[in-house]
Amino acid sequence: MPPLYHYVRRQLRPRNHLAGLRRRNILVAVAFCFCLFYFLDSFKSPTESELLERHMNSGPPLHPFTLMKSSVDWGSIEYRHPPQKQLRHLPKPPKRSSLPSIQHRFKKEFSEARRTREERRKTVLQLTRKCWDSYRTYAWKQDALLPLSRRGTDQFSGWAATLVDSLDTLWLMGLRDEFDEAVAAVAEIDFGNSSSPLVNIFETNIRYLGGLMAAYELSKRDVLLHKAVELGDLIYGGFNTENRMPVDMINIDAAKEGSGLMVEPTVVSASPGTLTLELARLSQLTGDPKYFDAITPIIDLFYRGQNQTALPGLFPMYVSMLREDVTTGSTFTLGGGADSIYEYFPKLHALLGGGEPRLATLTRGFMHAAKRHLFFRPMIPDNDDMLISGNVNVDQAGVAHLDPETEHLACFIGGTFALAGRLLSSDEDVEVGARLTRGCVYAYRSFPTGMMPERLTMVPCLGKTKKPCAWDEQKWKTETEKQPDYKPHLPRGFTTAKDPRYILRPEAIESVFYMWRITGEAEWQDAAWDMFQAVAKGTATELGSAAVLDVTVANPKLPQDDYMESFWIAETLKYFYLVFSPPDLISLDEYVLNTEAHPFRLQR
């Protein structure tokens, strides 16, 4: 019966249609409500870092202070070797190409995971507070705490290195009273006088200037910027040389005269190479281009030389700023002496918003060469896929010889590869960063104390990264017995622990922090917790934490050194804390951290 059929269809069709519409409407409404909820939610509930900001900024300083100007006005010295008239200005970041985002897109966390993370975060906080309290009680305004002899010592000009270095850590941990008290002490520092006649420009720059600027950026306390400028002008005085290249050590009395300083014949490459980020940031913060102008010739020099060295892409460990020679030399490493020159190429690239394209070239160039020459797969019992950063000597004939020695300092490189990989959109380099970081985590886990020695050697796999690398027990034994100071007790895979100490260094947890923030993979948080527990236990003293003299032997009481470096609170504990904090606290999309873990805000 076609009519009925038609009728039914006509009756049904609109009804069906209506029902569909209604269902869709409901879905749309529900979706809308969800969106509205999240939209309002994102307005209503501030992130944890916003809450922290409010807490730290509420009310006047808990410790009022008076700014005391330094006894020398470093900004008004007449220089014998002034800069050229035309100062070079900060480059304008390219308009259209904003840099790629760095951090993993973290999802909402399950309450169980959150509880664990919060407990760990609090444990790190408690240890930091204990160390800070001891510094405050026994070494106040001195450079470092001697945790065993319960007093302080000065090694960095006596301007309270631990205090300045710790400022931003105190802020990030929400320790408002401690922070304000420290700021009041900073207001009284005299950068016109030094406890030693020579001021180390590198350490002064990364610890003090970096610390002051980062604390200013977080808290906006003007006194911190004022002190940063005083100190920045002292460092700037280090460029008062015939060729306008910086000295390594500033003779403070000669600097006051303004009559000119002598550049040393040779320095480690990290010394000039690690002034760039801080001085560029100081120009950004003050609007005064002179600091950036001062570092430009350093970038020019390293850029010109990069492909002219014995290992093109990499710089020899020793360079001459006097002769402006960064190419002669046959020893190459990413460890001590060189490390942060490489770290600062991608970081300065980020700070300048991509406005100086040569920094991307410098970054690509060194990463390419490091992968080819310095990194090796170690031969280890479980054949895990990881990389170690070694050293290379180039002989007279130009042949590169790998020395399979690495050091804790070189562990920063995993994080730098991951960061640079993101910045330059190279997933392969993020993966290389992960394998390098795994190498350091492996070293921590292998030793019976759970800590990595300061310097060690392993057996490199031949055939580099592609071929499988089978464990050869006999080969490892032979290599170990060959060593001049043969130690039969080392874990399998390690042939020496040339320097068996752990001196509270941050580089391994630094890379783990970068891997966590960049990949969001839980393995890194777990690795961080294992490392924290081992380090906290092994370095523990009644007052705080102390360097350990030998991490290769598990003793109930490890032999310790009477010293707590300022980077322990500034870097190591900060990185541990950040790994266990919500990832928006010092997001890598908002900040770049200097080599002392001091965050500088990116101008995006």
Ligand X SMILES: *[C@@H]1O[C@H](CO)[C@@H](O)[C@H](O)[C@H]1NC(C)=O
The Cα 592–Cα 604 span in angstroms is 12
CB of 314 to ligand X, least distance (A): 12
User: Cβ(449)–Cβ(546) under 8 Å?
Assistant: no
Residue nearest to ligand X (CB): 193
Burial of 426 (0-12, 13-18, 19+ CB in 10 A): middle
Least separation, in Å, of the C-beta of 345 and ligand X?
A: 11
Q: Does 478 bind ligand X (CB under 6 A)?
A: no
**One of 143, 165, 203, 343 is an active-site residue; which one?**
203
Catalytic residue among 507, 510, 550, 565: 507
Q: Give the nearest distance from C-beta 119 to ligand X in angstroms.
A: 44
551's tokens:
């991490």
Tell me the per-residue interface mask from 152 to 191 with ligand X, x by CB under 6 A, - otherwise. Answer: --------------------------------------x-
Interaction residues for ligand X, span 518-547 (CB under 6 A): none
Bridge partners (DSSP) of residue 496 are 457
Q: Are 241 and 254 in contact (CB under 8 A)?
A: no
Q: Which of 178, 217, 339, 571 is catalytic?
A: 339
Decide whether 361 or 393 has the Cβ nearer to ligand X: 361
User: Are residues 592 and 277 in contact, defined by beta-carbon separation less than 8 angstroms?
Assistant: yes
Q: Taking a C-beta distance cutoff of 8 angstroms, is the pair 509, 568 a contact?
A: no
Active site residue 339: yes
Q: Which two tokens stand for residue 14?
A: 């609109």
Count residues near ligand X (CB under 6 A): 9
Contact 411, 511 (CB under 8 A): yes
Locate 137 and state its tokens: 């009680």
Closest CA to 267 of 206, 328, 318, 302: 318
Q: Which of 47, 116, 195, 393 binds ligand X (CB under 6 A)?
A: 195
Q: How far is the CB of 313 from ligand X (least distance, A)?
A: 7
507 is catalytic: yes
Structure tokens at 501: 């100490």
203 is an active site residue:
yes
How many helices (H) and strands (E) in the chain? 21, 16
Give the residue, chosen from 361, 393, 426, 465, that forms a contact with ligand X under the rule CB under 6 A: 361
Of the candidates 68, 197, 86, 229, the one whose C-alpha atom is nearest the C-alpha of residue 141 is 68
137 in a labelled binding site = no
Which of 42, 243, 259, 307 is in the footprint of ligand X by CB under 6 A?
A: 307
Stretch of 197-205, 303-311, 471-479, 517-525 lying at the interface with ligand X (CB under 6 A): 303-311
Q: Is residue 306 near ligand X by the rule CB under 6 A?
A: yes
Tell me the closest approach of the beta carbon of residue 197 to ligand X, in angstroms. 11
- DSSP per position, 421-456: HHHTT-HHHHHHHHHHHHHHHHHHHHSTTS---SEE
The one segment of 44-52, 301-309, 314-322, 541-549 that binds ligand X by CB under 6 A: 301-309
Could you write out the DSSP letters of every residue in 462-529?
TTTTTS-----HHHHHHHHHHSTT--TTSPTTEEEEEE--B-S--HHHHHHHHHHHHH--HHHHHHHH
Does the annotation mark 53 as catalytic? no
Q: Of 211 and 305, which has the nearer Cβ to ligand X?
A: 305
Of residues 140 and 471, the one with the C-beta less far from ligand X: 140
Q: Which residue lies nearer to ligand X by CB, 56 or 326?
A: 326
Binding status of residue 71 toward ligand X by CB under 6 A: yes
Q: Of the ranges 34-42, 302-310, 407-415, 523-531, which one interacts with ligand X (CB under 6 A)?
A: 302-310
CA distances from 566 to 35, 155, 228, 520, 586 (A): 47, 10, 18, 29, 21
| 135 burial level (CB within 10 Å; 0-12, 13-18, 19+) | buried
**Touching ligand X, residues 425-444 (CB under 6 A):** none
Catalytic residue from among 454, 479, 510, 550: 454
- Tell whether residue 196 is a contact of ligand X (CB under 6 A): no
Cα-based angle 477, 371, 272 (whole degrees, multiple of 5): 105
Number of C-beta neighbours around residue 498 at 10 A: 15
Nearest-approach distance from CB 99 to ligand X, in angstroms: 20
Shortest reach from residue 328's CB to ligand X, in Å: 17
Among 45, 57, 193, 483, binds ligand X (CB under 6 A): 193
d(CA 161, CA 154) in angstroms, rounded, equals 8
Q: Which of residues 79, 138, 140, 303 is near ligand X by CB under 6 A?
A: 303
Nearer to ligand X, 158 or 232 (CB): 158
Nearer to ligand X, 303 or 471 (CB): 303
CB of 41 to ligand X, least distance (A): 48
Residues pairing with 458 in the sheet? 494
- Token pair in block for residue 427: 């997933």
- Binding site feature residues for Ca(2+): 595
Annotation: binding site: 595
Q: Contact positions toward ligand X, by CB under 6 A?
A: 71, 190, 193, 195, 303, 306-307, 361, 365
Catalytic residues: 203, 339, 454, 507
